[in-house]
Chain A
């Protein structure tokens, strides 16, 4: 293919050649020899290249052909200095990718509403008195029946259930929904029908199940005749009546349900009779506001309903109030921390991008300064300034586009990876994150802008100087002089910014370290926890108590068991019960008179020894503590401190909400109960023999290895009764992974940014140091030749670098310390003022700083002045 500019170029050459030919002929006619005539013709014609260049400028295709040349030139330049190109592209790719990934997650998790029609009308209904959006089913029912402004009101709860498909049971999220749930989300079934009001009109009304589209597709092979077939959930048969449409992922963003069952079936599924208790806040509620009704109107009506309920049930509902919040993240509970964390990470990502831009800026500045001589020559032989500007622009553009392309690939991989990733927990958590094309575009735009701005800025300097000077001085003196140049400031800024990310990374690493080694109040390491519920196997609470005691006796006799005990649940599992605590003097037990609210556990004798919780004073619970003997309890130190303002609690009393006086017979060490980031909470432990629970968590601490213990205990339980469904039996550590999950995710994310920051600062420092040394090689070699010592050479060559590194790092650490406050929501005990963190950051910055100037320093020290001066 021939391009117009190719033809034009040939023609231009021929035209000039013809002119020269005619001139030569003229001189020959005047009697000169051929050689002389050629020489004189050339002199007469003048600068042929200059003429051609000016002709090119006049041509129609000039800009296009010039652009093509510029692109070719830019690529050739990049091939010639791959180090510069690679650094610049990598810098950009990292900076952009970080932002695209973080913003992608932010968008999916926080900004985007749940995917249902008119999502702005859908709200979570919860209690104004509690942060966690759990509510009692009777309260939801009161709102459902008493309102005029809501088009639908539903309750739901989600549970990890075992769903059998093609003969294999798999743990999945099951939503138990009340009759109006699908009216709230307003979706149409993909197959069959959805659950409706008829499935919910009385307890156990319906054995109907609705599958989610992904479950239908993956677990049931997209069977078109699925409706009417049977699926077993927790061993109980249900009839499949329909499939939800593709793209419906339930109303919680992280738990995508596989199956929907009727809430009226809770009795057969979870064995609970909690549904009718006003004090048991156990379900989530979601409502749809009627079109045309404003949020304040809806709130006002809810307030009126709450007032009515308060009057009707003064004892149980004294403080009742409702609130509405955006749905998706457990109501909005996770919304706050998630937003705070993502804002923090977004801030860091922005810093990485800024640092990348600064890095790019100093790279381009150094590069343009390097090319001062070349540019001066081009100006001298007739290149227009616009032409030079355009060429620099094109080069910046090529690098930006390459960097952007790499970033797109990187972020695409990361986000799809995240979407397909299943966190290592027993719960099927899933992120529905997809890369946003618009986002990549924006990031690309930022990068191009950064490249162009920083590429062009240094040109001003060159245009101001006289080409002659620049050529003579080799372009060095006027640009690498004593003055602080733009790129110096950029480097300091970049180091400061990178230092922030490094500080954040270390703060979170330190936090994770503390979290992993912190005192939980029990020792999850080297212990096995076995959990099961006896009610599906048909046990009454009394029979359950007997079964548990028999099991404990068997297990205690196993060889290798150091200690064993059981409880209704274990800490950090999220299924705690809490209750109000009253002082002994209280006679009126309304909620406002409480001393505080504490977590309550039911434990067996030996539980504390098995769990590794130290008994500080008094005695352990005993099987002789029953419902017929005086009520006793053990409390933790925090409980004693809050109630008695002293550590001396044994022998003293407190009252429960029904007015029963309970004697404290022992005190145990404080621990973590709901989450590892919680402030110290009070907790109390009742003897499980007083009121046996069918929920069982057996804790066994073996003498040596835990390897076979879990299997052994499974076998013991099965030997006692094979119909008992064991929920889990495994190392306590591994069961606690979910608790450490947010901290781990935060640490991974922040460490990644720290690494990005370090990479960037190494690239920037190394680039500028080697640039400084190479610019001043001549001066340095003269110094060496005149007998300068190594120390003097170093301070001459890199003294300024060290000042920049120092100020940048110091400023970065101060800023980083301030920024770390943002992290405290997620990271356990995040604090940048920790001397260890400060030392680590300082050490890292010094280390990377030294590493990145090491090369240039070696070069400066190993100068051979004779050779160098000869070469120049």
Chain B
């Protein structure tokens, strides 16, 4: 489970979290799992970064949270996007695409 991990580029974690949360309310463990899954086991999010990031995004008002029964036992904290979060996701996504495209241009020249 820890074999082929790639460390996240600084600053991309927030974007990945926003994107992951955008689908449906989801708890911290689920976020990490989903990122791992959709990146085909490449992007492993460290718990040490994930939770502080969640708290930071919540403080900024991009995320909101509620406590719910999780499928498997104890109560879990489910995060979902706020309107501001949705807007921020759009901006960050556009910025990232611009950035990634630019990097690709340079690499392929």
Contacts and interface: CB of A to CB of B under 8 A. Distances in A.
B74 A46 contact: no
A18 interface: yes
Contacts of B76: 15, 18
A782 B78 CA distance: 60
B77 A18 contact: yes
Interface string A8-35: 0001001111110111010000000000
Contact of A58 (B1, B52, B77): B52
Interface stretch (B14-22, B43-51, B84-92, B98-106): B43-51
8 contacts: A11-B67, A14-B74, A19-B29, A19-B47, A44-B1, A46-B46, A46-B48, A55-B55
Interface of B: 1-2, 27-30, 46-48, 51-52, 54-56, 59, 67, 70, 72-77
3 tightest CB-CB pairs across the interface, nearest first? Answer: A22-B29, A58-B55, A54-B52
Interface string A36-53: 000000001111001110
Given A16-B51, A46-B46, A51-B47, A21 B74 contact: yes
A55 B47 CA distance: 11
Contact of B29 (A23, A46, A57, A59): A23
Contacts of B75: 14, 18
Contact of B73 (A21, A44, A50): A21
B52 A15 contact: no
Contacts of B56: 58
Given A18-B27, A23-B29, A50-B48, A11 B72 contact: no
Given A18-B28, A19-B29, A55-B51, 15 more contacts: A15-B51, A15-B76, A18-B70, A21-B73, A21-B74, A22-B27, A22-B30, A44-B1, A46-B48, A47-B48, A50-B48, A51-B48, A51-B51, A51-B52, A55-B55
B48 to A, nearest CB: 5
The listed residue with most B CB atoms (<10 A of its CB), out of A22, A23, A46, A47, is A22
A868 B29 CA distance: 50
A482 interface: no
Interface residues of A, number: 24
Contacts of A55: 51-52, 54-55
A261 B61 CA distance: 80
A52 B51 CA distance: 8
B52 A57 contact: yes
A22 B27 CA distance: 10
A59 B56 CA distance: 7
Given A15-B77, A18-B70, A54 B48 contact: yes
The listed residue with most A CB atoms (<10 A of its CB), out of B2, B51, B73, is B51
A323 to B, nearest CB: 73
Contacts of A17: 74
B47 A25 contact: no
Contacts of B27: 15, 18, 22
B52 A45 contact: no
A60 interface: yes
Contacts of B59: 58-60
Given A25-B72, A55-B55, A59-B59, A18 B29 contact: yes
B61 to A, nearest CB: 10
A58 B75 CA distance: 22
Given A15-B77, A45-B47, A58-B59, A21 B52 contact: no
A288 B59 CA distance: 69
Nearest to B27: A18
Contacts of A58: 52, 55-56, 59
The listed residue with most A CB atoms (<10 A of its CB), out of B46, B55, B59, is B55
Nearest to A50: B48
B86 to A, nearest CB: 21
Contacts of B51: 15-16, 19, 51-52, 54-55
Contact of A15 (B28, B30, B48, B73): B28
A739 to B, nearest CB: 75
A207 to B, nearest CB: 85
Contacts of B46: 46
Contacts of A51: 47-48, 51-52
B62 to A, nearest CB: 13
Contacts of B54: 55
A15 B29 CA distance: 9
Contacts of A50: 48
A60 B58 CA distance: 9
B76 to A, nearest CB: 5
A22 B72 contact: yes
A21 B72 contact: yes
Nearest to A14: B75
A61 to B, nearest CB: 10
Contacts of B74: 14, 17-18, 21
A21 B72 CA distance: 9
Contacts of A14: 67, 74-75, 77
Contacts of B1: 44
B52 to A, nearest CB: 4
Nearest to A40: B1
A51 B54 CA distance: 12
A16 B47 CA distance: 9
Contacts of B48: 46-47, 50-51, 54
A17 B73 CA distance: 11
Interface in A312-327: none
Contacts of A18: 27-29, 70, 74-77
B55 to A, nearest CB: 4
Nearest to B32: A19
The listed residue with most B CB atoms (<10 A of its CB), out of A15, A16, A47, is A15
Contacts of B77: 11, 14-15, 18
Nearest to A48: B47
Interface in A330-362: none
A14 B74 CA distance: 8
Contacts of B55: 55, 58-59
A60 B76 CA distance: 21
Contacts of B47: 19, 45-46, 51
Nearest to A17: B74
B28 A19 contact: yes
